[in-house]
Amino acid sequence: MSKTIYIVGLGLIGASMALGIKRDHPDYEILGYNRSKPSRDIALERGMIDRATDDFASFAPLADIIILTLPIKQTIAFIQELASLGLKEGVLISDAGSTKSAIVNAAEENFVGKSVRFIGGHPMAGSHKTGAASADVNLFENAYYIFTPSSLTTSDTLEEMKSLLSGLHACFIEIDAEEHDKVTSQVSHFPHILASGLMEQTALYAREHELAGRFAAGGFRDMTRIAESEPGMWTSILLSNRETIIERIEDFKGRLDEISQAIRDEDESQIWNFFNQAREQRQAMEIHKRGGVDSSYDLFVDIPDEEDVILRILELLRGTSLVNIHINEENREDIHGILQISFKNAQDLERAEHVITENTDYTVVIK
């Protein structure tokens, strides 16, 4: 049976989602809201949606399913507005916000007693790009897509969402909204604070120690990559998950104090343990095999500085979904190989490792 889907916010996430829905449900009608014209036009021209509006309320009564793909604050504002509109009986509403408790609470508060089903959603994929022009049908492939049920989630809600979003090829998983916010505060939100703090500290230091900028390489680059994220999105993430994040910051301050004291005391074994425990814990978590936040599957190849070597490797990898290729100019101890190739999934990474080791003498490292 055909359905009418309303995507509210044709940014990177909303437009990519529309493409994914179209892939498996070409017969569904997709309506799109966007406040600015360029993303509306792009979404229409590229067939992501069938009809577009800049008047949010006008399409809402037509929809069987509404997905709010907007900044968190705006998602909450539109939930409030939806509560005052005449929607279809049993309409299913979801969202894509990066924090979940504030949104789920707003939905429960505003839709209570109404014929509305609500389930929170968080597709754990994205990039620093914004707008419909950056939409990518494969954006969510193999990424976790988290659903956070609410008191307005009925027994059929989750299955209906999974069926709608099957074309995203994501890994669907269901967790409690509060638990979602706790876990993501530790592995996503707090690391962003650290990356930006480290970046600011270094930039300031480099004003007086010019070499700091020049020597910043491998490890520093790994640690600060996410400091280039979109500031507006991260501001709203921190402000909608305040207590949990503040708790992580306080916990970390204690860890810094401990290592600082150990250095002051020249406590060699404590310092050794600090590094050793972290190394063992990271190895045990098998970070590189995971499809979590910002996941990438990296392979490092030590290649000689010879003509056509990179072309040869790429030729070997023909048909493999590599997402990025990087040549590390400096050969340093904290870089595992000169050529860094990133893949979308673990199977392609393993295949690439196998093909390169079989056909060349180059050292291959997976990190």
For helices 242-264 and 190-208, give the axis angle rounded to 10 degrees: 50
Question: Is residue 13 a contact residue for ligand NAD (CB under 6 A)?
Answer: yes
Task: Pick out residues in 217-246 that bind ligand NAD (CB under 6 A).
Answer: 233
DSSP 366: E
Question: Is residue 96 a contact residue for ligand NAD (CB under 6 A)?
Answer: yes
Question: Is residue 7 a contact residue for ligand NAD (CB under 6 A)?
Answer: no
Among 74, 105, 321, 360, binds ligand NAD (CB under 6 A): 74
Question: Is residue 191 a contact residue for ligand NAD (CB under 6 A)?
Answer: no
Among 6, 11, 119, 177, binds ligand NAD (CB under 6 A): 11
Cβ nearer to ligand NAD, comparing 72 with 301: 72
Q: What are phi and psi for residue 366, nearest 5 degrees?
A: -105, 130
Cβ nearer to ligand NAD, comparing 9 with 120: 9
Residue 178 token pair? 């509060």
Pairing of strands 144-149, 116-123: antiparallel
Q: For residues 116 and 152, is the Cβ–Cβ distance under 8 A?
A: yes
Pairing of strands 171-174, 297-302: unpaired
Binding region for ligand NAD (CB under 6 A) out of 10-18, 112-120, 150-158, 302-310: 10-18
For helices 101-111 and 177-184, give the axis angle rounded to 10 degrees: 160
Contacts with 94 (C-beta within 8 Å, 6 or more apart), sequence order? 65, 66, 67, 68, 118, 119, 120, 121, 147, 161
| Residue of 156, 134, 127 whose CA lies nearest to 64 | 156
- # residues contacting ligand NAD (CB under 6 A): 25
Between 104 and 143, how does the x/- string for binding to ligand NAD read (CB under 6 A)?
Answer: ------------------xx--xx--xx------------
Contacts with 96 (C-beta within 8 Å, 6 or more apart), sequence order? 13, 14, 17, 67, 68, 69, 121, 122, 123
Q: By CB neighbour count within 10 A (0-12 exposed, 13-18 middle, 19+ buried), where does 116 fall?
A: buried
Binding region for ligand NAD (CB under 6 A) out of 63-71, 188-196, 243-251, 252-260: 63-71
Give me the least distance between CB of 99 and ligand NAD, in Å please.
8
Cβ nearer to ligand NAD, comparing 71 with 291: 71
Residue 166 token pair? 């099957």
Q: What are phi and psi for residue 311, nearest 5 degrees?
A: -60, -40
Question: Is residue 52 a contact residue for ligand NAD (CB under 6 A)?
Answer: no
Give me the least distance between CB of 120 and ligand NAD, in Å please.
11
Q: Is 347 strand, coil or helix?
A: helix
Among 3, 24, 29, 35, binds ligand NAD (CB under 6 A): 35
Question: Is residue 72 a contact residue for ligand NAD (CB under 6 A)?
Answer: yes
Cβ nearer to ligand NAD, comparing 72 with 352: 72
Give me the least distance between CB of 246 and ligand NAD, in Å please.
20
Cβ nearer to ligand NAD, comparing 74 with 270: 74
Cβ nearer to ligand NAD, comparing 139 with 364: 139
Binding interface with ligand NAD (CB under 6 A): 9-14, 34-36, 39, 69-72, 74, 96-98, 122-123, 126-127, 130-131, 233
